[in-house]
A and B are shown apart, each in its own frame.
Chain A
């Protein structure tokens, strides 16, 4: 008994060190993954430090939960792994919080995001917590396996390499399509047919005030967004998708409007036959290249994606 006690302590020490290495590696890589994915989202949201803290903290928790699953299973604590399900419930809350926050600030936006964009952002944030968890799980699994063959430094190394590989694969696979992928964005001319604002033969709006018409002609910019195929045509027909494009264009190029100057609300309307979407805006800085870039890099919202080409009716159509 007296002789076995120190041996037990040593075993315990090694076990704890192993677990610590595994958990620390998993948590570190998971948090790093969340940080890198947050950077991808920088342009659209969030743009303030508090939100970064919130999302990094959630990412850290997700990574931690993911990385303690492996040591729990190694110690035959199978019940402990079931709290991953609890984490899933928790992250659903993240989506709810994001949605509520964005819906609340929507009223203060000059050019609203629209509900489809908000839902897309909220969903993305929930999904990225699961990804942080997955990276944590894979990295900790790597560290656990590595610890069988070498010392803890080697184990940590294996975990880091596997974690980095997972981050890279995920980052590539979850990158969404942008408008530039599904449509050609080209400059277009603004003209007036009486009071009607016309771009590419599409009537966008009735502008009553002659001064406002003059401002549109002198300072306005318009682009034509031509869908590349019938799927893109159906996607661009979605009001939520068009609102997202308008919001991004207005956010990135600035917009010459205010609460009492609604004439200059940027608009996107479609041609009923060709499906071409005409966007008109009076930007703060008149730069066509910047506007086209802003439109091209607007994400294609998951909830707005339509794929009629995959279905039978579209194959029957000529």
Chain B
């Protein structure tokens, strides 16, 4: 549990809703969002979470 969960990336269809210092991936459709999120989660060993406003986050649960 050391360090706790860490947001690794944000994948969003809503460019105006997301900003900040994290890696952000802007996508055009929900299919693209799912695909990009899946690829990133497989690479990082993270889990995809849906935060509901057209945005997915990939979180690494340590």
Contacts and interface: CB of A to CB of B under 8 A. Distances in A.
B48 A263 contact: yes
B59 to A, nearest CB: 9
Contacts of A205: 47
Contacts of B57: 208
A262 B49 contact: no
Contact of A208 (B42, B45, B56, B61): B56
A261 B37 CA distance: 13
A194 B52 contact: yes
B50 A262 contact: no
Interface residues of A, number: 16
7 contacts: A207-B49, A208-B49, A209-B34, A209-B37, A209-B38, A212-B48, A262-B45
A210 B34 contact: yes
A205 B34 CA distance: 18
Interface string B20-42: 00000000000000100110011
Contacts of B38: 209, 211
Nearest to A115: B1
Contacts of B61: 262, 265
Interface string A258-271: 01111101000000
A260 B48 contact: no
Interface residues of B toward A: which range?
Answer: 10 to 19
A275 to B, nearest CB: 22
A206 B50 CA distance: 7
Interface of B: 34, 37-38, 41-43, 45-52, 56-57, 61
A296 B37 CA distance: 37
Interface of A: 194-195, 205-212, 259-263, 265
Contact of A259 (B45, B48, B50, B52): B45
Top 4 closest pairs, chain A to chain B, by CB? A208-B48, A195-B50, A208-B50, A206-B49
Nearest to B49: A206
A262 B52 contact: no
Contacts of A211: 34, 38
Nearest to B61: A262
Given A209-B34, A210-B34, A263 B47 contact: yes
A242 B49 CA distance: 23
A195 B45 CA distance: 19
A262 B46 contact: yes
B47 to A, nearest CB: 5
Nearest to A239: B1
A260 B49 contact: no
Contacts of B45: 259-260, 262
A210 B46 CA distance: 16
Interface-centre pick from B46, B49, B61 (highest chain A CB count, 10 A): B49
A238 to B, nearest CB: 14
Nearest to B60: A262
Given A208-B37, A209-B37, A210-B34, A195 B46 contact: no
A219 to B, nearest CB: 18
Contacts of B37: 208-209
A263 B38 CA distance: 11
Contacts of B50: 194-195, 206-208
B34 A262 contact: no
A212 B47 CA distance: 10
Interface-centre pick from A194, A207, A209 (highest chain B CB count, 10 A): A209
Contacts of B46: 262
A118 to B, nearest CB: 15
